[in-house]
Amino acid sequence: MEDTLNHLLTQLLDKEDLGDNRIGLYIFGAGQGGEVLLKYLKENSCITNISYDLKGFFDNDTLKHGANIDGMTITAPRKDIVASKDFIIVSSVNSYEEIKRQLLKLGIEEKKILCADDWLAIGNQNIISKYKTELKYIDDNISNTEEKYIPFLFKEIPIEVFGQLSLQEQDQYKNIKIFFPLMASEEIQRRWTGSHDSVLMSQSSAFIKTVVEFCQYQGLQDLNKCNLLDFGCGWGRLIRLLYKYIPANQIYGVDAWKVSLDVCNEHQVKGNFAQIKDICTSIPFDVDFDLVISFSVFTHLSPRAGIAALNTIRRYIKNNGILALTVRPIEYWQIHKKLIDSTISIDELIQTHNKNGVAFVPHNLPPVDGDITFGDITISLDYIKDHWKQWKLIEYITNKEDPYQMILFFKPS
């Protein structure tokens, strides 16, 4: 990866200018992805031997022009402000090709236009290299380590590094690579989440890290002794991260979509899996769970389906157990209109949300007992306190990596 970046820079810069290897970076896209990328760049201000200055944001939305994010001004893309040693990193992987064509038409050289995923992959490989001594030891021993001791083996490895290893993009540690499930295809990752690989892993790692820190704050120190349920496990993107903390045989995953469980099986995701109904009234495991997580599930369930799921989870969690799930705040509808459905009326949805504490837009799916159970939904904290009677809200947190997924922590009431 280091050679890749250095080769790229060599193409861009004259040889006599390579001495300090200091470049300028603009981020194209002043939305959620751009903010995630900015955070990453600020926390990793030097990749290999390349230093950089963050110079600003480009965006096509005229309403954003003149505003700033963490002191960086948002402007329209212009060739005249892109200096000879400047790169532009496109934060949206999905829109990269379209934005690249736009920048080329403005006269910006192709070699100055980078994709966020490529940059993140380079940086993450460098982060992995910082733990080469520890990883060499793990690689030498993981094949002969009992499953229950795997979390101890990875104890000193940060979740961010663990997550990057799970992407299986490195070949240096072959036994570690074999340990992880196969990675879902880019198409599956995009279809399920709208993102993939390093960007998606950054968001996933941030969620798991927040959950673990909250559990430790609440006194749940020995996660390796816990039984955990991933409610709405999808293709297993969070479960592969949980192996750092919990033995696979103590991890359970349920999903209403059989195709999700098929993907888990095909990619050899380790754990215990079962299908549930769209309106969930039971969980097919005879287990009292210490911890239940549900990421980007209650952001899609109808109010009726959500209440049914919460009532069911309550019957399967210990009285002192912890439930961590995500909901979307009212501000989400602006993003929904821009990225998903430009036909929605934001004013009507905001009015409905403010009046009822909840606003739900069902997807074009068959109804279940007269109710379309899946769509997009925003939920207020007041609604939660008034209607989720079996649960006591303990804390809520928003990660900068994923600002439209508000993480809520509950205990049984």
Same fold, 2-125 and 181-412: yes
Digit-coded pLDDT (tens) for 258-274:
999 999 999 999 999 99
pLDDT more than 70, % of the chain: 87
The residue written with tokens 């934005």 in the block is: 99
Digit-coded pLDDT (tens) for 68-127:
888 899 999 999 988 888 889 998 776 888 999 999 999 998 888 988 776 666 666 667
Structure tokens at 300: 């899609």
Digit-coded pLDDT (tens) for 214-243:
999 998 878 999 999 999 999 999 999 999
Q: Are strands 272-275 and 251-255 parallel, antiparallel or unpaired?
A: parallel
The residue written with tokens 């929904």 in the block is: 336
Look over the chain and give the mean of its residue pLDDT values, rounded to a whole number: 87
Count CB neighbours of 212 within 10 A.
Answer: 19
What average pLDDT does this structure show over 5-34?
Answer: 63
d(CA 343, CA 305): 25
Digit-coded pLDDT (tens) for 138-194:
999 999 999 999 999 999 999 989 998 988 777 889 999 999 998 888 888 777 776
d(CA 95, CA 106): 17
What average pLDDT does this structure show over 208-217?
Answer: 94
pTM to 2 decimal places: 0.78
Alpha carbon 81 to its chain centroid, in Å, reads: 33
Domains of the chain, by residue range, sit at 2-125, 181-412
Higher pLDDT, 167 or 32: 167
**Does domain 181-412 correspond to CATH entry 3.20.20.70?**
no
- The CATH classification of domain 2-125, taken from the options 1.10.20.140, 3.40.50.720, 3.40.50.360, 3.40.47.10: 3.40.50.720
DSSP characters for 186-227? HHHHHHHHS--HHHHHHHHHHHHHHHHHHHHHTT---GGG--
